[in-house]
Structure 1
Amino acid sequence: MTTLKDIAEHANVSACTVSRYLNQNIVVKKETEKRIQSAIKELGYVPNVVAKALKRKETTNVAVILPKINSLYYSEITSGISQTLGKHHYNLFIYEVDNLNLSENEILQLMRENMVAGIIIVGLFSDLSFKESIPSFLECGIPVVYANRCIPYAGFPLVYPDLTEAGKIGANYLYAKGKNRMALIHKKLPNDVLALFLDGIRQASEDEQKPFIIEIDDRMDLIKDCVPLLLQNNINSAFVLNELSAVNLTKALIQANIQIAEDIAVLSLGNSLLSQISTPELTCVDLQNQELGIRSAEIILSEIQKEKVEQVTVLEPFIIERQSS
């Protein structure tokens, strides 16, 4: 294996000069730099990143803890994190909780063993996992960003979308289309999270009727169980708080010979590739998933550099109009 001494001899400089050059501690003459770079290339020298990290007691590894990666939802967020870390030459380590089968304490130990410089914890709005473990990370000197959880500030940076605003602009959009008989369809959201959307819908218009709320699950046959409810209650718009459920609902409505947009408009929460390949393409309330990842990465990098950061970052949603409305 090529050593610093080998490079020094090849470049006709001291090993100390090579070491300080590689660690950016000195500026050398252009001629000397060319000789060192040429030696590195010819001898195939590869820096020992692990040894450097141990010596400096610091790394460029950032961990992202999330339930799973095999979903468009999490991959969009992770993409934003990855592109930001890459620009600053940091490495991304992904820990899928669903596949690790480890306790929070065991995952904390993994973070220590892998010498991560910072941690971004991503989950669904209602997922509060790791919230109680974060003080343990902080006590170890590992900064943390808690992403996508709509909770009050709790002593560590938060990044999340404004769910109340999402409800408000979604309802305003449908009301402006004359769709004032709205069904709010969700998939087992906890009451406190559902209340955020309902508050936004209430703010949209005091004069409109309250939405008809339908809770669905994976066992439900939408054609048999959901579509009749919509028809019986004269619903002319469905605001669906889950993108895959919105896709499945449009399929069920089409199979029931209901005209999407004309008879019942469908508005989805979330704007991934799913909405673009749906038939018809879905109008969405975009929560800025990739931007959430970007902001989370920017904050964790600032924390690592011990810079001052915003403690709470709230992302504003917006409407993407397509064929379903």
Structure 2
Amino acid sequence: MSTIKEVAAEAKVSVATVSRVINNNGYVNEETRKKVLQAISTLNYMPNEVARSLFKKQSKTIALIVPDIKNPFFPEIARAIEDVMSSQEYTLILCNSDGKVEKEIMYLDAMKQKYVDGIIIVTSTLTPKHIETRDIPIVALDRKISPDIPSVTVNNYEGARQAVQYLKKIGCQKIAHIRGPHAISNADERYKGFMKEVENEPWFHPELVVNGNYNVLETTEATKGLLTKYPDIDGIFAGNDYMAIGVLKAAVQLGIRIPEELSLIGFDGIQLSQLTNPEITTMAQPIYELGLTAAEQLLEMIEGKPLVQLHHHFEVKLMDGQSTKR
């Protein structure tokens, strides 16, 4: 593999001149620039990005830390972020934390050591202190960390209320909720939105809320237990589309027809919800826009620009599928 010294020798210039051409930094006359570029092409020279990162303490790389890459919501978010970053010649590193604070801290430290330029993180465990002590641009996505840390989120509470209101509108008389994990802010907000709409209903009982932990297999088993104990449930609001798929599976195993006997609505609007049979009615987040906005925020922070808006808060909207009565 050729070295920068060999390029300099081939072009009959100094190593510093080659460096200025490669980094587009400092004046080099056009004739000399052409000689250097020709030498780079002749020798098939590839700049050492690791060495460049160590020298500049930046790497044209950002990290995305998510709690569960198996949840289809996060790959869709990652696609939007990657589109923005690649257009600016940044590389994206994807990290799966399993929602564990020790893994999130490990990734923060590892990315800092690798001179990653910034991080987008989905977390319910990190505190502002974890962020402030690491001195690296960070944007919180899907879940806020603190009022002082930039974030991109949606109105989970209102979206959940609208989901339950829709189930009532189409005639559901007993509605259950498959909620996400406790202490995860968006799951808690969706639960609170559900409760606002049902807590004063004569048919409501706390056992109509079960935890699917944002996991499709756990949701399948939890739903089977719920529908076996309360066979008169005719509506379910699942806290995300991934769990809604678990509800579909449970209904099939119990011989319950959707939507004829049970109406189902999810939350997120992932593409997979349109590929199930029946297609899932859902409260759709603007997923691509969320990722794009988080990426643009991070780029502004990396470039040292002041953020015009610290927190971006989007609304969700009903995407009518086939899993609810007409």
Identify whether the pair has TM-score above 0.5, normalized to the shorter chain.
yes
Going from structure 1 to structure 2, the CA distance change for 1:221 and 1:79 (only over 3 Å counts) comes to same
Secondary structure at 2:58 match in 1: coil
Query: 1:208-287 counterparts in 2 under 5 A?
Result: 213-217=208-212, 218=218, 221=221, 224-232=224-232, 235-287=233-285
1:319 equivalent in structure 2:
318
Secondary structure at 1:120 match in 2: strand
Counterparts of 2:16 and 2:185 in 1: how far apart (Å)?
61
1:182 counterpart (175, 178, 201): 175
Number of aligned residues: 316
Letter of the structure 2 residue corresponding to residue 165 of structure 1: E
Letter of the structure 1 residue corresponding to residue 171 of structure 2: G
Matched, 1:197 2:210: no
Matched, 1:134 2:128: no
1:166 equivalent in structure 2:
159
Letter of the structure 1 residue corresponding to residue 139 of structure 2: V
What's the RMSD between the two structures over aligned residues?
3.4
Going from structure 1 to structure 2, the CA distance change for 1:101 and 1:185 (only over 3 Å counts) comes to closer
Secondary structure at 1:231 match in 2: coil
Mind listing any 5+ residue stretches in structure 1 that lack a counterpart? none
Contact 2:190 2:239 in 1 (8 A): no
Letter of the structure 2 residue corresponding to residue 243 of structure 1: D
Letter of the structure 2 residue corresponding to residue 133 of structure 1: H
**Normalised by the size of structure 1, how large is the TM-score?**
0.81
Q: Shift of residue 254 of structure 1?
A: 3.7
The worse-fitting range, judged by mean Cα deviation, of 69-78 and 190-199 is: 190-199
Q: Shift of residue 168 of structure 1?
A: 2.8
Q: Shift of residue 302 of structure 1?
A: 0.8
Contact 1:122 1:146 in 2 (8 A): yes
Contact 1:247 1:274 in 2 (8 A): no
1:97 equivalent in structure 2:
97
Higher relative contact order (CA 8 A, sep 6+): 1
Q: Shift of residue 229 of structure 1?
A: 4.3
Query: 1:45-84 counterparts in 2 under 5 A?
Result: 45-84=45-84
Letter of the structure 1 residue corresponding to residue 284 of structure 2: D
2:139 counterpart (140, 145, 155): 145
1:23 equivalent in structure 2:
23
Q: Shift of residue 307 of structure 1?
A: 0.9
Counterparts of 1:295 and 1:128 in 2: how far apart (Å)?
22
The worse-fitting range, judged by mean Cα deviation, of 90-99 and 297-306 is: 90-99
Q: Shift of residue 88 of structure 1?
A: 1.0
1:294 counterpart (278, 292, 295): 292
Counterparts of 2:204 and 2:27 in 1: how far apart (Å)?
67
2:86 equivalent in structure 1:
86
Counterparts of 1:45 and 1:313 in 2: how far apart (Å)?
43
Counterparts of 2:104 and 2:295 in 1: how far apart (Å)?
22
Matched, 1:308 2:306: yes
Mind listing any 5+ residue stretches in structure 2 that lack a counterpart? 213-217
Going from structure 1 to structure 2, the CA distance change for 1:256 and 1:50 (only over 3 Å counts) comes to closer
Contact 1:223 1:256 in 2 (8 A): no
1:157 equivalent in structure 2:
150
Matched, 1:112 2:112: yes
The worse-fitting range, judged by mean Cα deviation, of 251-260 and 236-245 is: 251-260
Secondary structure at 1:89 match in 2: coil
Secondary structure at 1:75 match in 2: helix
2:215 equivalent in structure 1:
none
Counterparts of 2:185 and 2:97 in 1: how far apart (Å)?
24
**Normalised by the size of structure 2, how large is the TM-score?**
0.81
Q: Shift of residue 241 of structure 1?
A: 0.9
Per-residue Cα deviation, 1:7-40 (whole angstroms, up to 9, x for no partner): 3443455554433222213576666554433321
